[in-house]
Structure 1
Amino acid sequence: MSHILFVGIDVSSKNNVVCCLPEGDSAKPLSRFTVSNDEPGVLTLHERILALMQKHNLSSIRFGLEATGCYSSHLARYLESVLSFSPCEHSVYVFNPSLIKVFKKSHFLDAPKNDRVDAWFIAAKLRSGHLPRAFTWSESLAALQRLCRTRFHVTQCLTRETNFLLTNLFLKFSSYSAGPFGKKTSATSLAVMEHFASVENIIDMSVDDLVAFVARCGKNRFENPQDVAQALQKAARSSYRLPKAMADAVNLAMASNIRIIRSLQEQAKSLQKAIEEHLATIPQTLTSVPGIGPIFAAGILSEIGDIQRFPNQMALAKYAGLAWTESQSGDFKGVESRLIKSGNRYLKYYFTEAAKSVQVHDTVFAQYFSLKAAEPAKYAEKRALALTARKLVRLVDYLLRTNRLYEPREVIRQHG
């Protein structure tokens, strides 16, 4: 007598196609139906599953669906924590679509691609075993993840706009990079780009007036504004000159860029403040690591979620895309290996950027990075950074599982 119902759900923006399989080897579904991907639809799904459980005297339910971003998030949350299937036990599993694709090919090379077939294979995967850890939903981490991903999107847009601005800047002021501003998108730098229509205007302006302009835009933060003004005029004298029609077009393009950049900078600041406030409500010890601030800690925490869903630090590294391919057959073993292409791109970004910061602020990681960078290898710096990020994965895994503060190796040895 069967006791478990395996429910595969193929999710789309409008509909959820459902296939229910019994235990055993039977390929015939107990039920197939389609519901809308909204709250009335999931309530209908709930009613039909309960009726099916009662009809066949089943005691446990396993739901399976592919991770399809925003389209599957509501359904997974409702099934896991909003809807009640008592007295039946139930669990929800969210699969990487690549796993379902490989599972499908391993059974039928020429299986058709449609929603009904996909739902059947999701249910079959549930029935076959070797499942990931059951899906759990945390409101605080889900909210933090949304904030972190939005900030990531804003910073990516800011980088693209900045790069485009710099291409126009070279046309207008070709020697600007030799000028006094290290950060080209600082408030004073943007004011210079916006205020002066051409390099001639900078050259013709008196040094005293230019010093006053720099001091005013820099809010008197420059130690020697006269040096800044002179460096600016020197760079202007060595720059190419543009004809008027071209100069007008470049100025208009740059003005548009600058408005967008300022808006994105404001949004990034607003999101950073919200992330820091939200992180303060979540117990964590990642910020005890030198070089990991609130943004890196929030990004890593929100993408990992519950650390217990990973059996060990190797599984976490693979999820973060910080594992290496292996090529071995018989007596042959490949010498060179590359990072895997799968994994969570957001988590990989946060681990890599955090590794850059940690190796600057922490002596243990600094020594490790220097050691790896000195090894004779292709792309030594990139390789060293990837290995440092992989080392950071082990540390983060340990801190999250033990909820302990970070202690450098030297301190641990002294107390040992």
Structure 2
Amino acid sequence: MKFKQNDAQNQRIENITSNHLVVGVDIAKETQVARAVTYRGIEIGRPCSFKNDSLGFQKFLNWIKTIQKQHSKTSVIFGMEPTGHYWLNLAWWLLEQGFEVVVVNPYQVKSNKENRDNSPTKNDFKDALVIADMVKNGYYSPLRLPTGNYQALRVLMSDREFVIKQFITIKNQIHRWLDIWFPEYHLVFKDWSCKTSLVTLRLFPLPSELKVLTPKEIYARWKPHMKRRASISFAEALVEKAQQSIAQTVAPEQVKRSLLFLLDQYEALSIQLAHLEQEAISLLKEIPQAQSLLTIKGIGKITIAGILAETGDLSKYRHGQQVLRLAGLHLGEDSSGKHKGKVQITKRGRSGLRKFLYLAVLHLVVNNEEFRALRHHYTKIRKMKKVHSIIKLCGKLARILVGIVRQGQSYTPEKVVTALNAA
């Protein structure tokens, strides 16, 4: 049976019964606000403001139990916006107490804020009521907080993303340094990050230093730092380009110190990145479903680690469409009357998961025969644009990932080929 979003919406509405107390919580750094309604949207009890600490959480719990007792409500469902990181402690605490916790989309909260009072007014007390109304109407998503190895993997991949951003910044700064102080350098070393280039930049980065050296002296200076050195022709090219350089010669000591600082940062980040990736790969060995996913030819271990870090346990998903919605890769359009809007991805989801799915498909198109055939079918037979075909293949990959995990099987190329023939 295929997954239908309308069916899921109906199931979420049916999940809220007359015995439910629906609580909306507006998240903030220090003080949260909560309001409670019945399954029909009738507010009961007074609003509750509580601090983001243990005493505040206990006050919140006492408020809930009081309302439950007064109105004979046996079940409670909590809804909240995933605002930054401030909501995590409360969500974990509520789960530990055995409550059901769901999340609502901040975009939808903004769209629904005028439902009750037809006013654009926005404040914490109003937002809490809007969130409660959205939950009782079924406009929420189940909370999927990673646990165990999935949580550890999420932390590792988050740290990796942070290091990569810094790494790119440092590389850009080194590019800038070379463009200013040795613009001819790239004519000798097309890749400035190779071993010989890094040693050269540390020993004699400025053209003024290279001008006074012979190629043999440069070659000899390389020897203690490298087992395999570049040929003497590289040294000759360095001297030649240094003599032709248009770079300024002002503040040489300060300029060199600036480069050495950048190189130290570059090498430190390289080591950190390698350690994080190695730890993530080791952690994958402890996740059984990761081994099944790695049977897909063309997807690397880091890509699988990134996908699992964003989705958590894939066995909790009923269909690949849920993964697409989590990534914001599901399609949407803006049409009315005679106007036909452009169909495009919504991007209402996790950008990290969107990136890893997209990169995975790019690798599969190159290295996997079945996905390469699908790409050819979409672009040549069905005349899709190349970008559109990639997005469609992201959906195919999401369904394959969920199917492999739920069925406990390895990747079966024959099923993909059968689907292609059917298309």
Length-normalised TM-score, structure 2: 0.83
Residue 56 of structure 1 pairs with residue 64 of structure 2: no
The residue number in structure 2 matching 1:22 is: 38
> 1:330 offset after TM fit, Å?
4.3
Residue 296 of structure 1 pairs with residue 303 of structure 2: yes
Q: How does 1:141-156 map to 2 (within 5 A)?
A: 141-156=150-165
> 1:211 offset after TM fit, Å?
2.9
* Conservation of the 8 A alpha-carbon contact between 1:21 and 1:31: no
Indicate the RMSD between aligned Cα atoms, in angstroms: 3.2
Letter in 2 for 1:299: G
Tell me, what secondary structure is at the counterpart of 1:129?
Answer: coil
> 1:193 offset after TM fit, Å?
1.9
> 1:92 offset after TM fit, Å?
0.8
The count of corresponding residues between Structure 1 and Structure 2 is 401
Equivalent in 282, 287, 295 of residue 282 of structure 1 = 287
> 1:360 offset after TM fit, Å?
2.8
Tell me, what secondary structure is at the counterpart of 2:40?
Answer: coil
The residue number in structure 1 matching 2:28 is: 12
* Conservation of the 8 A alpha-carbon contact between 2:208 and 2:249: no
> 1:355 offset after TM fit, Å?
2.4
Tell me, what secondary structure is at the counterpart of 1:143?
Answer: helix
Q: 1:235 to 1:373 in 2, by over 3 A?
A: farther
Equivalent in 91, 94, 97 of residue 83 of structure 1 = 97
The residue number in structure 2 matching 1:307 is: 314
Structure 2, unmatched stretches of 5+, are 1-16
Moved more, 64-73 or 386-395: 386-395
Deviation digits for residues 168-203 of structure 1 (CA, Å, limit 9, x no counterpart): 111222132232453x33443222222214124335
Tell me, what secondary structure is at the counterpart of 1:29?
Answer: strand
Deviation digits for residues 67-126 of structure 1 (CA, Å, limit 9, x no counterpart): 01321111111111x224xxxxx4110222112222224444414211111111111222
Distance 2:279 2:364 in 1: 23
Moved more, 347-356 or 4-13: 347-356
The residue number in structure 2 matching 1:262 is: 267
Tell me, what secondary structure is at the counterpart of 1:13?
Answer: coil
Q: How does 1:36-115 map to 2 (within 5 A)?
A: 36-80=51-95, 82-84=96-98, 90-115=99-124
Length-normalised TM-score, structure 1: 0.84
Tell me, what secondary structure is at the counterpart of 1:35?
Answer: strand
Letter in 1 for 2:88: S
Distance 1:172 1:374 in 2: 49
The residue number in structure 1 matching 2:4 is: none
Tell me, what secondary structure is at the counterpart of 2:142?
Answer: coil
> 1:344 offset after TM fit, Å?
0.7
Q: How does 1:361-376 map to 2 (within 5 A)?
A: 361-369=367-375
Residue 251 of structure 1 pairs with residue 256 of structure 2: yes
Residue 343 of structure 1 pairs with residue 349 of structure 2: yes
The residue number in structure 2 matching 1:208 is: 216
Distance 1:38 1:112 in 2: 28
The residue number in structure 2 matching 1:87 is: none
Q: 1:340 to 1:22 in 2, by over 3 A?
A: closer
Tell me, what secondary structure is at the counterpart of 2:360?
Answer: helix
Deviation digits for residues 14-64 of structure 1 (CA, Å, limit 9, x no counterpart): 1221112233342x3323212211233223322332233233322111111
> 1:138 offset after TM fit, Å?
1.9
Distance 2:403 2:383 in 1: 30
> 1:385 offset after TM fit, Å?
4.6
Distance 2:28 2:35 in 1: 15
Identity in percent:
24
Q: 1:51 to 1:130 in 2, by over 3 A?
A: same
